[in-house]
Amino acid sequence: MKSGLALVVYGKTYQKYRAFERLKSAFQGVDWLLINNQKPVDSGEMEGHNRQFEFGAYKQALEQFVGYDRVLLLNDTAFNSHAFWLWLTLWQRAWNQKPVSGLKVWSDLRFDGITLLERPNPFAASWCMMALNQASVKMLGDTLISVLAQQPEPLSFAYEDFLSGWLSGRMSRGWHGDASAENIARKRQCIVWEHAWSRALLEAGIELHSFGSFDSFRLFLARFFDRLQNRCRAISRLINI
């Protein structure tokens, strides 16, 4: 059985968290890719082109993982913005399951309603994506290639309003990241791609599953600490303005 794990980063922050070492310790016997979208890259890192941010790097990883039976894709928000130690156990429990049949993908699954045409319900938050059989790995790659190749289309007024509200912090669960024009434009495009990827997966017959199916209480704790640390960072950022 061929298994692969890709961690997509921008810069060297991951070294502070010892993220790659912790992942290597938790997942034995897998093929590793550490894709850095910021040049120059160090020995042991694969150079990402960053043209499509983490999604372009995911595409690079999935091209390397053609024919693989299990794949886990992560980006550096796994330790920058999430309770890494709790999520790591959830990923391990999913990874160690008996062979999974059918077209299925596991993620941090979100249920945000059916009011927006562009946002499926549920959709997979793309910072962590896992496929546990060869057919699902292939569909993960095929759908991402299709999404990234699509020409931009006009978005509905309701979806544009949602994006504007989420990125400006008008919504209670909105984004609290660095609000520079460059970062807002990048985050906006990533949200659009994230929703489009989930739509493509669902339309291809992929079942989207939550890592909480392996431990619902640990998922509750993980999301609680995710929100807590992100609120603390948002408050700290406001204080320091």
> Looking at the predicted structure, is the pLDDT value of residue 230 above 80?
no
pLDDT for res 171? 46
Give the relative orientation of helices 19-26 and 84-95 as an angle to the nearest 10 degrees: 30
Q: Which two tokens stand for residue 133?
A: 């059989």
pLDDT for res 84? 95
The single-letter code of the amino acid at 116 is: L
- On whether the CB atoms of residues 156 and 234 are closer than 8 A, the answer is no
What's the rounded mean pLDDT across residues 122-145? 97
What's the rounded mean pLDDT across residues 49-57? 95
pLDDT for res 110? 95
pLDDT for res 212? 93
Task: Give the Cα separation of 185 and 138 in Å (integer).
Answer: 30
Q: Which of 79-93, 132-146, 175-189, 218-232 is predicted least confidently? A: 175-189
Q: Which of 51-55, 119-123, 168-172 is predicted least confidently? A: 168-172
Task: Give the Cα separation of 85 and 78 in Å (integer).
Answer: 10
Distance between the two ends of the chain, CA-based, in angstroms?
51
What's the rounded mean pLDDT across residues 169-197? 79
Q: Would you place residue 178 in the very low, low, confident or very high pLDDT band (cuts 50, 70, 90)?
A: low
What's the rounded mean pLDDT across residues 84-107? 92
pLDDT for res 236? 61
Q: How many CA atoms lie within 13 A of 233 on its CB side?
A: 13
What's the rounded mean pLDDT across residues 46-73? 96
| Size of the chain, expressed as the number of residues it contains | 241
Q: How many CA atoms lie within 13 A of 158 on its CB side?
A: 6
pTM: 0.93
> Looking at the predicted structure, is the pLDDT value of residue 31 above 90?
yes
Q: Which of 87, 103, 105, 120 is nearest to 194 (CA)?
A: 120
* Domains, the chain, with CATH or none: 3-239 (3.90.550)
> Looking at the predicted structure, is the pLDDT value of residue 184 above 80?
yes
> Looking at the predicted structure, is the pLDDT value of residue 172 above 60?
no
> Looking at the predicted structure, is the pLDDT value of residue 133 above 70?
yes
pLDDT for res 179? 65
User: DSSP character for 114?
Assistant: S
